[in-house]
Amino acid sequence: MLRTLESHAEFITRHIGPTADEQARMLATVGADSLDALIDQVVPPGIRERAPLALPGPRSEVDVLAELAEIGGRNTVLRSFIGQGYYGTHTPPVILRNILENPAWYTAYTPYQPEISQGRLEALLNFQTMVTDLTALDIANASLLDEGTAAAEAMTLARRGAKSRSNVFFVSKFCHPQTIEVVRTRAEGLDIELVIGDEAEGVPECYGALLQYPQSLGRVVDYRALTATLHERGAVVACATDLLALTVLSAPGQWGADIAIGSTQRFGVPFGFGGPHAAFMACRDAFKRNMPGRLVGVSKDALGNSAMRLALQTREQHIRREKATSNICTAQVLLAVMAGMYAVWHGPDGLKRIAERTHRLARVLRDGLAAIGVSVAHGEFFDTLLVESGTATDAIHTAAEAAGYNLRRVSNTQLAVSFDETAGRDDIVALVTAFAGAVGKPVPTLDIDAMDAAAAGGVPDALRREGPILTHPVFSSIHSETDMLRYLRRLADKDLALDRTMIPLGSCTMKLNATTEMIPITWPSFAAIHPFAPAVQTAGYRTLIGKLSVALCEITGYDAVSLQPNSGAQGEYAGLLAIRAYHRANGQGQRDICLIPSSAHGTNPASAQLVGMQVVVTACDAQGNVDVEDLRAKIAQVGDRLAALMITYPSTHGVFEDAVAEICGMVHDAGGQVYMDGANLNALVGIARPGKFGSDVSHLNLHKTFCIPHGGGGPGVGPVAVRSHLAAYLPGVVDNQGRLSEDQPVGPVSAAPFGSAGILPISYTYVAMMGAEGLRRATEVAILNANYIAKRLAPYYPVLYTGRNDRVAHECILDIRPIKETSGIGGEDVAKRLMDYGFHAPTMSFPVAGTLMVEPTESESLDELDRFIDAMIAIREEIAQVERGERDREDNVLKNAPHTAAMLLAADWQHDYPREQAAYPLASLRQNKYWPPVARVDNAYGDRNLICSCPPLESYVEV
Ligand SMILES: *Cc1c(COP(=O)(O)O)cnc(C)c1O
C-alpha cells in the first residue's frame, strides 16, 4: 500500500484556500498570535471542545475514491421496471458532461442576483415553459423538491384557492403510496382532514382532491366528469401526473384540472436511489400568487431590454414569515435545468417518439403475456401494466430478478411492470421468458415486430392528446450536438459561479465543491439504483448512509440523524415534527408555541407554521444577540404552551453568543425544546457541538457545510439530527412498497426513503478526505478569513455586530446604512457595482435591511480575499466621490451598475464619469473581465406584469 504513504493530508491543503504562510500573515493583520489563539478569542470557552473528533482519516483522494468504488460495488444494479414515480432514463451525454459535470452550472448560487444569472434563469424558463405546455396549465414554477412534497404543496395551494369551506382533502388511493404518506404527514400538522379513497365509489364533500393520471398502477382514467362535479361543489382538482405520458395523453389542463404536479426525473435524471430530482407544479392563472417555490419571470432591465429574474421572490419567507404558506427555499434547480434541456435536446418529436415507443413496449408485453395465459388488470395504460400474477407472484419476482429485472411488488397476487426509454425488444423476450418459466408454460416464439404492428389499445382514444406540443421555438431550435454544446456554453457564460469568483454569501457557505467529491455520483453503482429496489441490492447505499450518519452524529454531538429531508427547510420541518410528537407522547399536546428571534432565517417561522405551531417573535438586543430578558418574559408569558425555541448558532448576525447555554437552560426549565438551526455549522465543526451544549435538535445543510454544490438553487440535503429522547420521532421510512408501518409515530417528509441519497457520496467523500484534523482546520480558517475581511474593511465599512473580543464568527455584516445617509448609495448599489468588478454580491438585507453579509469560507485564498477587499475599498472611494459632490448623486457608477458592454459602447456617452472607470475600475480587470449581459433588472415591473414562460418569438424581434 505505497499509495497511502503519499501525503494523505494533501486534500486538506487543496480544500483550504490560504497556505500556512498566508494564514500567518492574516493572523498578524487581525492581531492574533495563532489560529488557536484566535479561536479562543472567538468561541465562548463554555462550549469549546478540545478533544479531536473521533473520525477516521484524513485520507487521500485516491484512497477515498477506492473506498467509494468498493461501497458502490455492494449495490447490485439491475434493470428496474418498478415505476412508482421513478423510471429508467438516458441522460444525454451532452447534458451529463456540460451540465451535471460542469462547475459553471453546478457551483452557481440561487439566482437572487438576476444580472449575473441570466443563463440559468433562461434554462429555468425553458423548464417552466415545458411544464406549462405539457400540462396545458397557465403557469409553472421552477421546481419543488419531489413528487410527494409537491402533492403536499398542492393540498395547501388548493386550500387557499378553493371556494368550498370544507376542511376535507380527498386523495385518490390510486396515487403513489409514498405520495399519500407524505401528504398525510403534512395534513396532520395543518389540521386538514384527509380522506383517502376510490374516487369511482364517490368523493365526499371536500375543498380539493388529488388524483393521479396515469394512476400509480398504470391505469389511465378519464377524469372529466368527476372534475366537473368537483368544480360544481367549489372544490379544486389537483392531479399528479407524468410529463412523458402527457406527450401522448390529453393534458390535465385540457380536461379541467386546476393544479398539476409530478416529477421530471425521467427527463434525463438518473434514479440515484430516490433523488435528487426536480418536481414541478403548474396551475391556473387564478392560483399564481399563492404558488409555492421559485418562479422565474420576465421583466425589463434599466435599458428597457427584456431580462429574467425570480418573480415575487421576496414575498414568501422574507416578507410573510410566520404567515408564509410554504417553506421552500432551496429547490432542485440543477435537476430542473437538466430536465428542461432534455426537452430542448429531444424536441417535441423526439419526446413523442420516446413516449410512443415506451407505450408500444407495454402493449407488446401485454400480448406476450397473454400468449402464456397471464392477463393484465386493465386495458387502459401508458407505460405500466398491472399483471394478474396470482399464485405465481413470488416465482415471477424470483425469475425476473434472476434474469436481471426488478418488478413492482403490489400484492401477493399482482405485480406491475413499468417501461421507460431504456427498454427494448430484448427486455420483452427476457421478461416473457421469466414469466413463462414461473407459470410453468413453454416459452413462446415472439415475433416482436409483428406483435408491435398488431398491438392495439392502451391509450384510450378519448384521451389521446390532440394538437402540437412544445410549440415554443426553443424546443425545435437545436438539432445538432454542436448547437446544443454552444447553447449550453452560451448560457453558462452569462453567469457567475464559483468557477470564476468567490461568492461571498452570508449564511450560504459557498465553499469548494471538489471534483473528487463529485466523481462517484455519476457511477452507475450509485446513479442507477431505484429507491424501491429490494434491500439486498442496496447494501452499498445502506453502508454509505450508515457511515455518514455516524460521522454527522460525531460532528454535531447528537445521537441520531435522518438524511431524508431534501433541503434545510425540510430538515427544520422534520425537527419540529419530532418536537411536537415528543410533547404529545408526554401528554403535553398543548405545547404549540415556537419562539423565534427576529433575526431568524425566513424558513424558520414558515416551517413552524407548517407543523401547526404558533410563532412568537422574540427581540434581539443592540449587539445583535438574543435579548435574554425579552426571551425570559416571553417564556413566562406563553407558560405551558411553550413547545420550542428556534435559534441559529452562531447567530445570523455572525457572532457566537456567550449566553447560548443559559438560553437553552431557560427553555428546558420551562418544558420546551431547543431547535438550533445548523445552517451555520461551518463555524462549529471540530470546535463545538450543538448536541453537547444544550440543543435538542438541529438540521444541517449538506449543500452548505458539507460541500454538495448549490446547483443554482438546489439540490440540497438537510439532515435532521436529534438527541436520543427525540430519536423515535425522526421521519418515518416507507418500505419497498412505499408504505409506512404502523409503529412509526411520525410520517415521512420526502417521497424517497432516504431523500436525495444520490448526492450523499459528495459529503461522505469530503468528511473522509478531511478527517478530524482537516474539518477542524477548515472551521478555524473560515473564521480567520471572515475576521481578516472584517478587520481590513472596518475602516471603510462599519462591521455591524461583533462578539467576544470584537471578533466575528465565520461571516460579518457590513453596514451600508450610514453611507446611504451621506451619499444616497445603498446596499443594492454596492452589490450591483461588485458585478462590474467581477464579483457575485454578498447577501443583501438579511438579516438586517440595508446591510451586506459576507461569508468568505475557508476555501478562498488570500489572493482572492484581497481582490474582494480591494474591490470593496475602491467602491468605497467611488461612494466618497459622490459624498464629496464630485459625482452626481443619481447618475454615477454605482446607481448605474452593473454596466453592460452595450451601455459602454453607446455612441453618445451621456454620463459624467468616464467609460473606463465604469468598466475597468481596477487595472487587473483589463486582463480578466466579466461582462454582465443585462443592466439592472426592474423587479417591480416584472411582478406587476407577470410572465413566467418563454416569451413568444415576436417579443425577441421587438427588442
Ligand atoms: C440556508 C438556510 C436555511 C434553509 O435551507 P434550505 O436548504 O435553503 O431550505 C435555513 N436557515 C438558515 C440560517 C440558512 O442559512
Same domain, 330 and 351: no
The H or E element containing residue 10 is: helix 10-15
pLDDT at 71: 98
Same domain, 356 and 439: yes
- AA identity, residue 219: R
Q: Which of the listed residues 334, 564, 599, 601 should we mutate to test ligand 1's pocket, taking the one with most ligand atoms within 8 A of CB?
A: 601
Mean pLDDT within 172-183: 98
Which residues constitute the domain of residue 290? 99-344
Domain membership of residue 185 (yes or no) is yes
Q: Which atom of ligand 1 is nearest to the CA of 648?
A: 13
Please choose, from the candidates 43, 531, 88, the residue with its C-alpha nearest in 3D space to the C-alpha of residue 275. 531
pLDDT at 34: 97
Give the span between the Cα atoms of 125 and 910, in whole angstroms. 34
Q: 714 in ligand 1 pocket by Cβ < 6 Å?
A: no
At 313, the pLDDT band (50, 70, 90 cuts) reads: low
Same domain, 737 and 631: yes
73 Cβ contact partners less than 8 Å away, ≥ 6 residues apart: 525, 540
Q: Is the pLDDT of residue 158 over 90?
A: yes
Q: 677 in ligand 1 pocket by Cβ < 6 Å?
A: yes
CATH no. for residue 355?
A: 3.90.1150.10
Same domain, 528 and 596: yes
Domain membership of residue 536 (yes or no) is yes
- State the sign of the Cα–Cα–Cα–Cα dihedral 766, 770, 775, 778: negative
DSSP string of 817-854, one letter each residue: HHHHHHHS--HHHHHHHHHHTT----EESSSSTTEEEE
Query: Which of 446, 463, 480 is at the close of a domain?
Result: 463
Domain membership of residue 913 (yes or no) is no
Beta strands per DSSP E along 94-242? 139-140, 168-172, 193-197, 208-213, 236-242
Q: 603 in ligand 1 pocket by Cβ < 6 Å?
A: yes
pLDDT at 676: 98
Query: Contact at 8 Å (CB) between 766 and 706?
Result: yes
Give the span between the Cα atoms of 297 and 312, in whole angstroms. 9
Same domain, 705 and 684: yes
Give the span between the Cα atoms of 107 and 890, in whole angstroms. 35
- Which pLDDT tens digit goes with each residue over 230-250? 999 999 999 999 999 999 999
CATH no. for residue 193?
A: 3.40.640.10
- Which pLDDT tens digit goes with each residue over 626-649? 999 999 999 999 999 999 999 999
Q: 567 in ligand 1 pocket by Cβ < 6 Å?
A: yes
Query: Contact at 8 Å (CB) between 738 and 181?
Result: yes
Q: Is the pLDDT of residue 959 over 60?
A: no
At 312, the pLDDT band (50, 70, 90 cuts) reads: confident
Residue nearest to atom 14 of ligand 1 (CA): 679
- AA identity, residue 355: A
Q: 569 in ligand 1 pocket by Cβ < 6 Å?
A: yes
| Joined grid coordinates for residue 523 | 457511477
425 Cβ contact partners less than 8 Å away, ≥ 6 residues apart: 448
pLDDT at 958: 43
- Which pLDDT tens digit goes with each residue over 841-880? 999 988 899 999 999 999 999 999 999 999 999 999 999 9
Same domain, 648 and 672: yes
| pTM to 2 decimal places | 0.97
Q: Which atom of ligand 1 is nearest to the CA of 328?
A: 9
Domain count, the chain: 3
Q: 568 in ligand 1 pocket by Cβ < 6 Å?
A: yes
Question: What is the whole-number distance in angstroms between the Cα of residue 699 and the centre of ligand 1?
Answer: 9
Q: 701 in ligand 1 pocket by Cβ < 6 Å?
A: yes
Same domain, 294 and 430: no
The H or E element containing residue 767 is: helix 760-793
Same domain, 254 and 365: no
Domain membership of residue 150 (yes or no) is yes
Question: What is the whole-number distance in angstroms between the Cα of residue 568 and the centre of ligand 1?
Answer: 5
Residue in this structure with the C-alpha cell 467529491, named with its chain if needed: 517
Same domain, 421 and 400: yes
- Which pLDDT tens digit goes with each residue over 601-619? 989 999 999 999 999 999 9
Residue nearest to atom 8 of ligand 1 (CA): 330
Q: 520 in ligand 1 pocket by Cβ < 6 Å?
A: no
